[in-house]
Amino acid sequence: MVIYISGLYSGTNPQPGVGIARSLREAFPDATLIGVEYSKRCSGIHWTDFNDIWLNRPWQELDLDFHARDIIRLLDAGNLFISANDLEVLWLAQILPDGHPNLLTPPADALKAVAKPGVTGHGGLPVKIPVYVSTELPDWELHAFCRAHNWKVWLKGPYYEAIRITTWADLEVTRDRLSKAWHTEKLFLQAHVSGYEESVAIAAYKGKLLHAVLMRKKDITEISKTWAGDINPVPSNILKPLEEIIRRLNWSGGGELEMVRDADEQLWLLEWNPRFPAWIHGASLAGHNLSAHLVAGATGQVTPVANRPRTKEFTRVVLEIPVKSQFPLNPLPEPFAGRVGHSMKHPSGLLAFAGKLHDRAASFPLIADAMSIDAHQKAAIPETYLDDLNHISHGIPETPAFVFMPKTAAALFQKAAEIAESASTDRITVRHGYSIKTNPDRRLIGMALDHGFLAEAISPLEVRRAIDTGYHPNQVILNGPGKWWRKEALPSEPLKAVFSDSIKDLERVLDAVEQGDLSAETIGIRLRPPNIDSRFGIPIHSPDAFEELINATMRIPEHIRFGIHFHMASSNTGVGQWMHLLRAMVQWCQTIEKLSGRVVTLLDIGGGWFPDDWEHRASERFESVVSLVTALLPNVTELISEPGKAIAQPSMALAMQILEVQDPPTDSGGLREVVVDGSIAELPMHFFYPHRMVHIDQKGRWQTLGRGNVQLLGRLCMEHDVVATHVSLPEDVQPGDLILFCDAGAYDKSMSYVFGHG
């Protein structure tokens, strides 16, 4: 019996070839095992259980048709072939879509049914699939997905690689790298599931499940790969449907269902790999030799009696083994001049293999499904934007220029006012606060006043600006650590509320009140959440800090109303996490009331809402917040909600003019460079979230832009002045055309700076 086994890579993220060979050698001492590899650097070729090694040239050099003929000839001659390399399995299924009796890998239809991320063939198993989206969606929606999942998401390649994403900048850089590596823009984002990882390994032949085990990870590597685990029988609620699925898919070969068990005992199926797992010999040590079951099933032999299990548990060690004399080691490539570290491309050329398969996608439906993109979708533009665009597309003066979107702003303020009114109850009045720092434009402050917003200021100068725009001091809230900077600008009349950012700040506020230098209807404190890094607010992370806060609160004079302020940018934490933070903070408020004897009458919450999140199910959210506050803090009569950038961000756009259009790149995958007269100085937030973009030609015709192959370079002589990448522009784009960056009315506007103006 001759068995060819591929997938011999044996680094810290190993392939299973060596484990399969070890298991087969135990079961079939006389079998001829031939390792198949595509690089001499894959150290598994030196493993002693192989009788011989079929070392091929790396994938980038290999003639795929010639290689396919070789494999088919081997199979026809009665040799078995176990592939342990996902891409090779996929390729073999395209060459032999209906399989081959001696090819111990799944057929094409089965692979289609278990393709990630959807794993459509999992029906019947007691598992869920974590939520995912394709990167074919507009950036705007990808950002929304990340926010919706609290920035706990993974960007995954079509076959391998999963990279944790925590920020928009992360996503942009990682998407670029993975797209280049795997020769496709078709990646996907998947929500993280927290829990314990476990896997079911299977061996099946022609639709019959021959054996299966459950492995629970007990130790993992830095990239979460198995280092140790225990082997258990597969529970019947998994085994029974699994048998049916294997039959339905006519599965042949090994397989692995990678799952996570969450704290509620729910199983989540992350991936269904079309080959044995790398830990497969660990199962053999526990008396479950799946590799042997597979070979016996395929050859009609009696499955060899398993060795008495030595243990239910296995672990790994690092071993040095002799190098086989016929495969002397290659030299290590020299580091690039002046750089750090050795440049080691994937030794077997796996990435180049992916590229070759992509080039043949037309004749390989499986590959086409995994990698091909029809067209990138464009972000939807709200109706009010369209109205505003129709009015401004002809009348933009000197660029770069911020363009006010009056209809959009008015609609947002109006909607916010309606939400506040409908969320108010007999006991609690809901009001919004306009954050002046987010955009101190008088038009926006004026609209806020007209729509019943309070003004939220972080400095006396901002208080003054609100008053100068028409606010009365008792409509202005002052908070933050900078309230004593330019304090001469503070009015003598009472402010609506003053919130202290530290115990020292509270003492100073109380002194100022006592001396008549400051007056406010409500004096309060800002709380710093103990589980999220923040520089703002009074900490409660230790018993002593909490005690100090209680004692300081008790010093606030009885005749002054007491309030608590909690602000955290939901666009950074994610909406779900923000809501949890709020619930936790309301509990803390209840505790502070109980321990200090001071009742909370005003609660100020919010900050940093992304516009779409703030609007999405806003009435329902406000209703639940009001009922939470009513239940836990019965003395609160005013709930101030500060939507932060939710109102200001959509209210302005930044217009830039195209200065120069470079020729399209000659290399495939290259980016066409277009220079604009704007820069990161006017668009400082472009690192943090995507902006919807509109192209306006010189006849005033406009169109929204999606993802494409243009890189927009800013006018500054700064390496990082790239205002957008992967933008689609019309082929006939001309110098003088305009690009409008929507969603620039918040910190893009207020934090933009003058640079390069001479």
Partner 1 sequence: MFLDTVKHIAIEKGTGAPIYAPWSQFPHTLIAHHGAACCDRAEHWLEGMDISQLSEASVYSGPRWLLEHFEWGPLTHPIHWCEAVRRKSLDCGALAAMTLRCFHIRGVDAYPAQIVQEYSQSALLHWERKWQDEESSTHWLQDNLIYHECVAMITANKTVKVWDSSSGWWLSPNSRRGYGGIRALRIHTPDYAEKGIMTWENMPVKLNEWQVIPVAE
Give the residues lining the site for partner 1 (CB under 8 A): 150, 194, 230, 262-265, 312, 529-531, 540-541, 543-544, 546-547, 550, 576-577, 580-581, 583-584, 587-588, 591, 594-595
Residue number with CB closer to partner 1 (459 or 577): 577
Question: Would you tell me how many other CB atoms lie within 10 Å of the CB of residue 384?
Answer: 18
What span, in angstroms and rounded, lies between the C-alpha atoms of 578 and 565? 14
Question: Would you tell me how many other CB atoms lie within 10 Å of the CB of residue 161?
Answer: 16
**394 touches 641 (CB < 8 A):** no
Instruction: Provide, rounded to whole angstroms, the least separation between the CB of residue 608 and partner 1.
Output: 18
DSSP three-state, residue 702: strand
Residue number with CB closer to partner 1 (192 or 378): 192
Structure tokens at 59: 């994938």
Residue number with CB closer to partner 1 (632 or 659): 632
Residue number with CB closer to partner 1 (613 or 721): 613
Residue with tokens 């902006």: 691
Instruction: Provide, rounded to whole angstroms, the least separation between the CB of residue 259 and partner 1.
Output: 17
Residue number with CB closer to partner 1 (544 or 663): 544
Alpha-carbon radius of gyration of the chain: 32
Residue number with CB closer to partner 1 (490 or 538): 538
Whether the bond into 328 is cis, omega within 30 of 0: no
Instruction: Provide, rounded to whole angstroms, the least separation between the CB of residue 148 and partner 1.
Output: 12
What span, in angstroms and rounded, lies between the C-alpha atoms of 435 and 409? 15
**561 touches 523 (CB < 8 A):** yes
Identity of the amino acid at 508: R
Residue number with CB closer to partner 1 (412 or 575): 575
Instruction: Provide, rounded to whole angstroms, the least separation between the CB of residue 624 and partner 1.
Output: 15
Distances 295 to 55, 212, 451 between C-alpha atoms, Å:
23, 14, 75
What span, in angstroms and rounded, lies between the C-alpha atoms of 250 and 242? 12
DSSP three-state, residue 492: coil
Instruction: Provide, rounded to whole angstroms, the least separation between the CB of residue 559 and partner 1.
Output: 24
Residue number with CB closer to partner 1 (192 or 206): 192
Residue number with CB closer to partner 1 (2 or 550): 550
Report H helices in 225-289: 236-249, 280-285
Cβ neighbors of 542 (< 8 A, separation 6 or more) are none
Instruction: Provide, rounded to whole angstroms, the least separation between the CB of residue 154 and partner 1.
Output: 17
Instruction: Provide, rounded to whole angstroms, the least separation between the CB of residue 531 and partner 1.
Output: 5
Structure tokens at 695: 């192209």
Distances 454 to 51, 587, 607, 700 between C-alpha atoms, Å:
80, 25, 14, 39
477: buried, middle or exposed (CB in 10 Å: 19+, 13-18, 0-12)? buried
Residue number with CB closer to partner 1 (56 or 266): 266
**537 touches 501 (CB < 8 A):** yes
Residue number with CB closer to partner 1 (531 or 734): 531
Instruction: Provide, rounded to whole angstroms, the least separation between the CB of residue 286 and partner 1.
Output: 12
Residue number with CB closer to partner 1 (460 or 607): 607
Whether the bond into 539 is cis, omega within 30 of 0: no
Give CA 240 to chain center in angstroms.
Answer: 35
Instruction: Provide, rounded to whole angstroms, the least separation between the CB of residue 117 and partner 1.
Output: 22
DSSP three-state, residue 551: helix
DSSP three-state, residue 392: helix
**636 touches 601 (CB < 8 A):** yes
DSSP state at residue 487: G
Instruction: Provide, rounded to whole angstroms, the least separation between the CB of residue 545 and partner 1.
Output: 9
Instruction: Provide, rounded to whole angstroms, the least separation between the CB of residue 591 and partner 1.
Output: 5
Instruction: Provide, rounded to whole angstroms, the least separation between the CB of residue 542 and partner 1.
Output: 8
What span, in angstroms and rounded, lies between the C-alpha atoms of 597 and 550? 9
The residues facing 201 across adjacent strands are 213, 256
Residue number with CB closer to partner 1 (48 or 587): 587
Residue number with CB closer to partner 1 (91 or 566): 566
Residue number with CB closer to partner 1 (136 or 230): 230
**122 touches 112 (CB < 8 A):** no
Question: Would you tell me how many other CB atoms lie within 10 Å of the CB of residue 460?
Answer: 19
Cβ neighbors of 361 (< 8 A, separation 6 or more) are 367, 368, 371, 372
DSSP three-state, residue 335: coil
Identity of the amino acid at 102: N
Residue number with CB closer to partner 1 (120 or 531): 531
Instruction: Provide, rounded to whole angstroms, the least separation between the CB of residue 583 and partner 1.
Output: 7
What span, in angstroms and rounded, lies between the C-alpha atoms of 452 and 410? 13
Residue number with CB closer to partner 1 (473 or 529): 529
| Residue among 637, 554, 642, 548 nearest 600 (CA) | 637
Instruction: Provide, rounded to whole angstroms, the least separation between the CB of residue 152 and partner 1.
Output: 9
Instruction: Provide, rounded to whole angstroms, the least separation between the CB of residue 276 and partner 1.
Output: 24
Instruction: Provide, rounded to whole angstroms, the least separation between the CB of residue 584 and partner 1.
Output: 4
DSSP, residue by residue, 56-118: PPPTTT--HHHHHHHHHHHHHTT-EEE---HHHHHHHHHHSTT--TTB-S--HHHHHHT-TTT
Instruction: Provide, rounded to whole angstroms, the least separation between the CB of residue 525 and partner 1.
Output: 15
What span, in angstroms and rounded, lies between the C-alpha atoms of 537 and 563? 13
Structure tokens at 239: 């085994």
